[in-house]
């Protein structure tokens, strides 16, 4: 099990706080009110001078790493309006928030991982007046929530992203569609809960069965102030914001109790808690960043109480990976295909009798269907289906006695599969063909995406090869330039030396010419004297 990590982040004083006195003192991990009425301690406390990257390293980065390994993760910011939630989650300019830092680290890990192939998908929704809207569809498309295999899903639009830059660009597009309203404490206050989802799918290059799929939820909650704290907030907005946060606080308190059971917790009271249910009581790692204003007493104390309860909540993270046959509980798998039909038939009959439900399949039908299947096909299907089937049997038989102990492999999401088993034999072949067509179409899309990724990687490798080749040529040219410069320098030296020699020679020639001229004059003088 893992507990929810909680951190308290105090924002710096704003210009509007100049005339206000600080109501809280931060001393290491201890937070104390100035009037000494409240003293609380937390594992992670960040004063008003701390930066977002410190918060990220302590609370978010470990969850991002877990998400990269196949675990689901959730990071959400809770606090009153104008306490720094959006600044912490998104950031500004050269001060990136939790979301851009997480995206940066995800693609950094992808780029340095060579033995796996990755697909990253992103989605962005907001919950406004307890209705879910797609921020990638102008924020006007209302979405529905449904459950499948124990997972809470939203039929939102998702984008496949291949780079950090592409993710942040699309994220910015979604932010422009958020519902914003000016309040007494913040002129640009978000009046909705925003949930940014990053899905990471990976597969080992040499092992198709070794695949992982994880979801990272990054949540910026609306302000948690009391109804009268924002005079300009519309009644309907304030009502739904406070109602959803009230339900969230109630669920946190319930989960924080010792011996608390998930069966008693109603996550369906509002859309927010229904979507966050995997993080609050499911298979996800989670961190809560509680933002607070140092000049506010009551609302900050309310936030700190929420944080104290959240620290006591525990989850059971499970890696989302493809299971091989040997990973299923050994007592579920049968060594002989001949005994498998009898085992499944007897268990199914037991469930139907004890749960007082009318089964659309008779025992004879089950025997007939199993006998018509080749033993080798039964063996192949068993490793993929028997664990789910056994969990269905357990869930259905649990209706008979609530005292029956749940095995460690019990799957909470098997309700949907039980309902599928209760379908009548009247399902038409046309419907089955439609489902097969949809599956085939999805497989083709996945294949095309893989081909595109493979082509992009090939192009990337070719570009890298070209760049490396150009770098080598550039290096050679630079070396040639260096050698030419050295030759020019040597030529310059030789020119200087030769110039000096030429000057010496010219002097000597001049001397010789003077001597020759003198000798010529002397000769002429001597001839003249003889002639006389």
> Per the annotation, where are the binding residues for ATP?
79-86
Other Cβ atoms closer than 10 A to 33: 16
Strands (E), 22-150: 24-27, 30-33, 39-41, 44-46, 72-78, 91-92, 95-96, 116-128, 131-134, 142-143, 145-148
Q: Report the DSSP beta bridge partners of residue 119.
A: 201
d(CA 419, CA 395): 11
d(CA 507, CA 496): 17
d(CA 465, CA 471): 10
d(CA 55, CA 62): 11
CA angle 307, 311, 317 (to 5 degrees): 130
- CB half-sphere exposure, 428, CA atoms < 13 A: 3
Per the annotation, binding residues are 79-86
Q: Report the DSSP beta bridge partners of residue 82.
A: none
Query: Pairing relation of β-strands 72-78 and 207-220?
Result: parallel
For the record, the structure tokens of 100 come out as 């851009």
d(CA 96, CA 171): 13
């Amino acid at each position: 099990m893992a507990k929810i990590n909680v951190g308290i982040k105090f924002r710096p004083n704003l210009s509007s706080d100049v005339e206000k006195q600080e109501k809280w003192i931060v001393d290491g991990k201890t937070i104390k009110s100035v009037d000494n009425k409240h003293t609380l301690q937390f594992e992670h406390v960040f004063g008003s001078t701390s930066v977002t990257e410190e918060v990220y390293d302590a609370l978010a980065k470990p969850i991002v790493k877990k998400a990269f390994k196949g675990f689901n993760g959730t990071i959400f910011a809770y606090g009153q309006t104008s306490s720094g939630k959006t600044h912490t989650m998104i950031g500004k300019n050269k001060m990136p928030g939790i979301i851009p830092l997480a995206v940066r680290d995800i693609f950094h890990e992808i780029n340095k991982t060579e033995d796996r192939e990755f697909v990253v998908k992103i989605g962005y929704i907001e919950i406004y007046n307890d209705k879910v809207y797609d921020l990638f569809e102008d924020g006007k498309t209302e979405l529905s929530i449904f459950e499948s295999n124990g997972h809470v899903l939203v039929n939102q639009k998702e984008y496949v992203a291949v780079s950090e830059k592409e993710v942040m660009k699309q994220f910015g597009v979604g932010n422009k569609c958020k519902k914003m309203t000016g309040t007494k404490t913040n002129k640009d206050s978000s009046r909705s809960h925003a949930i940014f989802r990053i899905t990471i799918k990976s597969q080992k290059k040499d092992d198709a069965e070794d695949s992982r799929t994880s979801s990272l939820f990054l949540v910026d909650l609306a302000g948690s102030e009391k109804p009268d704290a924002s005079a300009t907030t519309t009644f309907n907005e304030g009502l739904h914001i406070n109602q959803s946060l009230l339900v969230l606080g109630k669920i946190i308190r319930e989960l924080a109790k010792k011996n608390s059971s998930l069966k008693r917790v109603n996550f369906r009271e509002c859309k927010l808690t229904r979507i966050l249910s995997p993080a609050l009581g499911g298979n996800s790692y989670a961190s809560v960043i509680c933002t607070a204003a140092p000049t506010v007493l009551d609302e900050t104390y309310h936030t700190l109480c929420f944080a104290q309860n959240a620290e006591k909540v525990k989850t059971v993270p499970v890696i989302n990976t493809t299971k091989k046959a040997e990973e299923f509980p050994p007592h579920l798998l049968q060594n002989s295909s001949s005994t498998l039909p009898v085992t499944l038939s007897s268990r199914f009959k037991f469930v139907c009798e004890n749960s007082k439900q009318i089964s659309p399949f008779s025992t004879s039908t089950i025997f007939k269907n199993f006998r018509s299947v080749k033993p080798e096909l039964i063996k192949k299907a068993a490793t993929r289906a028997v664990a789910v089937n056994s969990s269905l049997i357990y869930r259905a038989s649990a209706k008979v006695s609530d005292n029956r102990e749940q095995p460690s492999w019990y799957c909470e999401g098997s309700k949907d599969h039980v309902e599928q088993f209760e379908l009548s034999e009247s399902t038409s072949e046309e419907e089955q063909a439609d489902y097969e067509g949809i599956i085939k179409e999805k497989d083709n899309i996945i294949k095309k995406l893989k081909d595109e990724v493979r082509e992009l990687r090939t192009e990337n490798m070719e570009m890298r090869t070209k760049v490396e080749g150009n770098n080598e040529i550039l290096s050679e040219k630079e070396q040639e330039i260096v050698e030419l410069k050295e030759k020019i320098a040597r030529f310059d030296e030789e020119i200087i030396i030769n110039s000096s020699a030429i000057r010496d020679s010219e002097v000597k020639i001049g001397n010789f010419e003077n001597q020759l001229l003198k000798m010529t004059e002397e000769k002429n003088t001597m001839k003249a004297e003889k002639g006389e």
